[in-house]
Amino acid sequence: MKNVLKLCDSFDDKLHSILHNSDKQTMSITKNKTSQHYFDCVFSFRLSFKRKERGGGSGGSVYGCREHRDSISAVPARFIQATSVRRETLNPKWGENFMFDIDDVTSDILHLDIWDHDDESSVLDAVSKLNEVRGVKGLGRFFKQIAQSARSGSQDDFLGCINIPIQDVPSTGLDKWYQLEARSQRSNIQGNIRLKLWLSTREDHGQANTQNHFDNWTDVRRNERLLTIFADYEMSLTKSSLWNGELCHEATSILHQHAVQSGVSELQLAVIRWLAFSHIPSIDPQFLLKQLSQLEAAWGEQTLTVEEEDWLADSFNVFLDYSMQLIRKYRKLFPPYHHTSMNRLEYILRCLSRLSLSKAYGKCCPFNKDIRGEIGNALRVGTNEWYEENRKFMATGQHDPETRLKGFVRLVTSVLIDLQKGVEHYNVLFENINGVFYYAAIYKQHEKLVSTYR
């Protein structure tokens, strides 16, 4: 791992901050601790949180802000954010990301107020007033004005709030449900909101890091490259013919922190893992199947950019081409009496089945040929190649009719043995997993080839 880290020391400012400033919860290979003074001068904390869903209430919007505990100083508008409105639902799901710079991790608080707004304009009006807010008292007056306007005729209702001390958020992040709090004991507020929060460090370039200017395409590519470097190193240490995809704790921690600091989403992480691992010929296909499942699970609530979809489509096509090459040579690569080889073939077929049914593949490769048809074609092409190789071998040096007849008998015997192996070992895999009628395809191909023997 030491050699790998040397390659990455100058990877980017995020990796530099990870290697020098990660805490004990996530890193065990950090260098000597940088002085606290240097840390405070160069680095600033950043809180990222993602609103996921809320239960036990009506649809609405959320105002979030970063407060300093017991502070009466100004609260800049950049520390206050508002979500979009989720209409006509008792269990809204936002799936929106926000980032805040943190001044003091020991005293700052994340405060969220949740409202049931009657329309989008009320949200825009509220956000337009955020620049007028100064201090916690001013924040209270701001929400009081909204509450008064609701009582005067609109349908805006205060649903609850939560306060989360920043020091309670570990560097590894949190993903949990929080119970909504009422503003007074007379309120009957009930409900919960699910938040995903995490802390990370970044090098201070004197630039604001706002949501509107956040574009992590370069960081996504860097994270994939970093994972590839770690994977290559781990494979160099394994003695097995197949690598199970397991990374050491240090590599996992670095990748996690780099992803957190870059704002990489769960879907992007799933794409990165698939891209990095699917290009490794010696990867265990059972592990690849897990990556496909995680990619499909993350596909629903989040989206990719056009560049990311093209990137993913290219990886799907490369994986398909490689898999079809393996299927064409399945007789040599996956002998029926070799358990490890047959297990590998089974999970390659399962990966192809999962891929063919996935929403990600349908979205990224809408014009590709049917994978089941591609498998059938690979079997036929592989059978042609196998037959031609055997025919040339058995026909070598044959001139007289009797010798040619003996060669033909040996060839037919080999074909029968191949068909028997297919019935006993391969047919059930291809038919049950991919819906490909293996025996019928192979038998017809052999019949055609034998009938044209010269």
Asked if residue 111 belongs to a domain, the reply is yes
What's the rounded Cα separation, in Å, for the pair 343 and 309?
31
Residue type, 59: G
In sign, the C-alpha dihedral spanning 388, 393, 397, 403 is negative
Residues 173 and 36 in one domain: yes
Which pLDDT tens digits describe the chain residue by residue (454 residues)? Answer: 444 433 444 355 565 555 555 444 433 333 333 323 322 332 333 444 555 565 654 455 555 565 554 443 455 666 777 777 777 777 787 777 787 878 777 888 888 888 776 555 555 455 555 555 454 445 555 555 555 544 444 444 777 888 888 888 876 678 888 888 876 666 676 788 888 887 766 655 444 444 433 468 889 999 999 999 989 888 888 888 889 999 888 888 888 888 887 888 899 999 999 999 999 999 999 999 999 999 999 998 788 999 999 999 999 999 999 999 999 999 999 999 999 999 999 999 999 999 999 999 999 999 999 999 999 999 999 999 999 998 887 765 556 777 888 888 888 999 999 999 999 999 999 999 999 999 999 999 999 998 887 6
> Could you tell me if 239 and 185 lie in one domain?
no
Closest CA to 174 of 184, 158, 162: 162
The domain that holds 126 is classified in CATH as: 2.60.40.150
- How many domains in the chain? 2
Q: Do both 115 and 221 map to the same domain?
A: no
177 and 34 co-located in one domain? yes
Alpha helical stretches, state H, 238-338: 249-262, 266-278, 285-298, 306-328, 330-333
Cα torsion at 183, 186, 189, 194 (round to 10°)? 30
Are 242 and 367 in a shared domain? yes
The answer to whether 433 and 349 have CB atoms below 8 angstroms apart is: yes
**Per-residue buried b or exposed e for 91-128, using 16+ beta carbons within 10 Å of the residue's own CB:** ebebebbbbbbbeeeeebbbbbbbbbbbeeebbeebee
The CA distance from 122 to 87, in Å, is 13
Q: Which residue, of 172, 199, 226, is where some domain finishes?
A: 199
Q: Are residues 157 and 230 in the same domain?
A: no
Query: In this predicted model, what pLDDT tens digit does every residue of 141-191 receive, in sequence order?
Result: 555 555 554 444 444 477 788 888 888 887 667 888 888 887 666 667 678
Placement of tokens 């600091």 in the chain? 261
266 neighbors 50 (Cβ within 8 angstroms): no
**Beta strand pairing status for 43-55 and 96-102?**
antiparallel
Tokens of 261: 């600091």
The residue range of the domain holding 107 is 24-48+75-199
Q: Is 150 left (phi over 0), alpha (psi -120 to 50) or beta?
A: alpha
pLDDT on residue 444 = 92
Q: 311 in a domain, yes or no?
A: yes
Flag whether 104 is in a domain.
yes
- On whether residue 330 sits in a domain, the answer given is yes
Contact in structure between 228 and 93 (CB atoms under 8 Å): no
Task: Output DSSP code: residue 71.
Answer: -
Domain membership of residue 205 (yes or no) is no
- In this predicted structure, what is the pLDDT of residue 35? 29
**Local structure of 319: helix, strand or coil:** helix
Secondary structure letter of residue 425 according to DSSP: I
274 in any annotated domain: yes
Same domain, 420 and 296: yes
pLDDT in tens, 325-372: 999 999 999 999 999 999 999 999 999 999 999 999 999 999 999 999
Residue 415 in contact with residue 356, Cβ under 8 Å? no
Whether residue 407 contacts residue 395, with contact meaning beta carbons closer than 8 Å, is answered with yes
Q: Is 37 a member of any domain?
A: yes
